[in-house]
Amino acid sequence: MSVDTQAIANGLRQRDPELLDLLIEQFQHRLFRYLVFLTGDQALSEDLFQETWIRVMERGHQYNAKSKFESWLFAIARNLVIDVSRRKKMRSLEELADPDSNQPFEPPDLHGVSALQMLVARENEQAIQLSLLKIPAYYREVLLLRFHEELGLEEIAAVLSTPISTVKSRLYRGLTALKNALPESAPRGAA
Amino acid sequence: MSDSLHTRAQQLLAQSLIEGIAPADDAWLRRHLKDCPECREHAAATNDLLRALRAVPIDVPRDLAARTQMRVRLRAQETAGASGSGLILWGLTAMSWLLGVMSAPLVWRAFAWIGEEFRVPKLAMEMGFVLWWTIPALFAVAAVLHQRGVASNAKRF
């Protein structure tokens, strides 16, 4: 059962426990996938998943129903990822805060993403999925939000707190990075 | 077919996925893809790429939602309890100030009597009166700061 944004805003303002339970059920897959895409670490994603919902409960009164609930949810999760990466000195994720400050594109160290590697290393389309691991988290993030979550450019910009032009450029560069990360035998699409 | 046509087709293809293209460009792209096997293959590969991206299998741990629901409810109870005890503290503080103001003339007279009886210098008596007033307030401030410290520690993980 889905709940409309105004009902969500009203329920969150009152800290309605039934509504929170429903939202956790409803958005668990999308939120967890987003966190795993960002962090590449399942255990950390589980912690962040729980912490995200605690923040949703605590700051529910700040949700004004003008944007999609999932955009607000992803923004909260993203800020937590950035906080944790700063605390734990996870350099690859710190770039989420300001990726454009590190201009030259360098594929991350694959040893650092072994957990995500284990998660995505399945038989179907394995080559393409594994190539996702070779691109920086801030490209994975926009590609996920655009092509998996099917958020609009404005919604992605709201999640990332960046201008739409930045979102577009990250998407173009992300597609290029993904294409370049593919092995020779895999299909290479537009970018 | 010139390279610039292929380049334009591939740019439009990426643009159509990311931000959309004008109907005229869309019509041109469709015509081009119909006539150009190279760009058609490129478009098919792009679709495969995005399908693979959408198909990344990430399973949510079975009990994660239930654990989260329980943790959120517990935190909600904790914060509700903390805000309730905060209200009690503020209420007690207000009552303490009210009683202090009401009893100030009596306390002043008591200090004056003690001063006269034991020949305490006036300055020492006045300082004693000020301390009598400020020490409870300092205790209240310490209690509030302690409570805030406990709450912020609980928020960390």
What was the ipTM of the complex prediction? 0.75
Query: What count of residues does chain A have?
Result: 191
Q: Of A109-123, A149-163, B79-93, B130-144, where does mean pLDDT reach its minimum?
A: A109-123
pLDDT at residue A117 is higher than 60: no
Q: Of A74-83, A106-115, A124-133, B119-128, where does mean pLDDT reach its minimum?
A: A106-115
Burial A107-121 (b: 16+ CB within 10 A, else e): ebeeebbebbbebbe
DSSP state letter for A100: G
How confident is the model at residue A24, as a pLDDT? 96
Q: Any idea where the domains of chain B sit in the sequence?
A: 3-55, 84-156
pLDDT at residue B150 is higher than 80: no
Residue whose pair of structure tokens reads 């930045």 in the numeric block: A166
Q: Pull the structure tokens for residue B70.
A: 């329980």
Each residue's pLDDT tens digit, B32-79? 999 999 999 888 888 888 888 888 778 899 899 999 999 999 998 888
How confident is the model at residue A45, as a pLDDT? 93
Residues of A in contact with B60 (CB under 8 A): 28-29, 32
Residues of A in contact with B10 (CB under 8 A): 190
Question: What CA–CA distance (Å, rounded) separates B14 from B25?
Answer: 12
Top-confidence residue, B117 or A2? B117
Question: What CA–CA distance (Å, rounded) separates A87 from A48?
Answer: 13
Closest residue by Cα to residue A101 from A140, A138, A128, A72 = A138
pLDDT at residue A114 is higher than 50: no
The neighbour count for residue A24, using CB atoms within 10 Å, is 23
The model carries a pTM of 0.69
Question: What CA–CA distance (Å, rounded) separates A130 from B25?
Answer: 34
Interchain CB distance below 8 Å, A124 and B65: no
pLDDT at residue B157 is higher than 80: no
Q: Please state the φ and ψ torsions of residue B60, each to the nearest 5 degrees.
A: -80, 130
Q: Pull the structure tokens for residue A78.
A: 């993203």
C-alpha count within 13 angstroms, C-beta hemisphere, residue A10: 5
Q: Of A97-101, A130-134, B105-109, where does mean pLDDT reach its minimum?
A: A97-101
When the pLDDT of each residue in chain A is averaged and rounded to a whole number, the result is: 80
How confident is the model at residue A113, as a pLDDT? 44
Q: Pull the structure tokens for residue A168.
A: 């577009």
Closest residue by Cα to residue A153 from B29, B17, B43, B50 = B17
- Is A105 strand, coil or helix? coil
Question: What CA–CA distance (Å, rounded) separates B133 from B60?
Answer: 59
The neighbour count for residue A81, using CB atoms within 10 Å, is 26
Question: What CA–CA distance (Å, rounded) separates B65 from B108?
Answer: 62
How confident is the model at residue A186, as a pLDDT? 54
Top-confidence residue, B56 or A105? B56
Q: Of A77-81, A100-104, B46-50, where does mean pLDDT reach its minimum?
A: A100-104
For residues B89, B92, B98, B101, the Cα torsion angle rounded to the nearest 10 degrees is: -80
Residues from B in contact with A at Cβ < 8 Å: 10, 13-14, 17-19, 42-58, 60-61, 64-65, 67-69, 71-73, 75-76, 79, 157
Each residue's pLDDT tens digit, B85-105? 667 778 887 888 788 888 888
pLDDT at residue A110 is higher than 80: no
Q: Of A49-63, A126-140, A177-191, B92-106, where does mean pLDDT reach its minimum?
A: A177-191
Using a pLDDT cut of 70, give the percent of chain A over it.
72
Top-confidence residue, B123 or B71? B71
Chain B interface, mutation test: which of A47, A49, A139, A151, most B Cβ atoms within 10 Å?
A49
Question: What CA–CA distance (Å, rounded) separates A63 from A68?
Answer: 10
Top-confidence residue, B2 or B85? B2
- Give the one of A46, A147, A190 whose C-beta lies nearest to B42's C-beta: A190
Interchain CB distance below 8 Å, A32 and B45: no
Residue B9 vs residues A172, A176, A178, B33: alpha-carbon distances, Å: 15, 16, 19, 8
Query: Chain B: nearest CA to A129, how far in angstroms?
Result: 6
Residue A41 vs residues A52, A72, B79: alpha-carbon distances, Å: 16, 22, 30
Q: Give Dmax over CA atoms of chain B in angstroms.
A: 114
Q: Please state the φ and ψ torsions of residue A121, each to the nearest 5 degrees.
A: -75, 75
- Give the one of B46, B65, B75 whose C-beta lies nearest to A24's C-beta: B65
How confident is the model at residue A112, as a pLDDT? 45
Residues of A in contact with B43 (CB under 8 A): 189-190
Closest residue by Cα to residue A93 from A112, A66, A67 = A112
Each residue's pLDDT tens digit, B10-26? 899 999 999 999 999 99
Question: What CA–CA distance (Å, rounded) separates B82 from B147?
Answer: 9
